[in-house]
Amino acid sequence: MKNKTEAIVTTNKKIYHNFEILETYEAGIVLKGSEVKSIRSGKIDIKDAYCIVKKNEIWLINSKIAEYEKATHIKIPIDRPRKLLLHKEEINRIIGKMSQKGLVLKPTKVYFNERGFAKVEIALCKYKKLIDRREEIKEKELKRELEFYKKYGY
């Protein structure tokens, strides 16, 4: 069994706070020109990005890949829509699940797999209610207090 080594470029930590993640998928991403080198140097932003389904294809919208400084005269728009590469069965499953009310498709992380290909992990998410977020915060505070009391013996 091979060790999976992947170089994580960026993660979207806000997703885990605001959304409940139901399923995750690994997708390839169609890039042009110097975008790969720009991603390798960590100049990608997926905070406000989301995915849409258009003509049985999944597109990554509003992700920003900065221009590579050493690129030639070809200028690629920073926030152009990028096609994601998935198997047909996965796309059909995602389309079926997204037809349910309240589910969205968001990118959680961008990384390079062991073969050197840029990959995007996308997640089928459901918005957390404000009450759920408050309960999470209360649980975290209780855990911190318990650890403090265990550590200092109060």
Given this model, what pLDDT does residue 107 score? Answer: 95
Structural domain of 79: 7-128
What is the domain count for the chain? 1
Answer whether residue 134 is part of any domain.
no
Say if 142 falls within a structural domain: no
Mean pLDDT per block of 10 residues along the chain (154 residues) reads 68 87 93 86 90 92 86 78 94 88 90 91 87 80 85 74
Sequential DSSP letters for the chain:
-PPP--EEEEE-HHHHHHEEEEEEEEEEE---TTHHHHHHTT-EE-TT-EEEEETTEEEEES-EEPPPTT--S----TT--EEEE--HHHHHHHHHHHTSTTEEEEEEEEEE-TTS-EEEEEEEEEEPPHHHHHHHHHHHHHHHHHHHHHHHT-
- Name the pTM for this structure: 0.77
Examine residue 20 and state whether it is found in any structural domain, yes or no: yes
Q: What is the pLDDT of residue 36?
A: 87
Write down the pLDDT at residue 121.
95
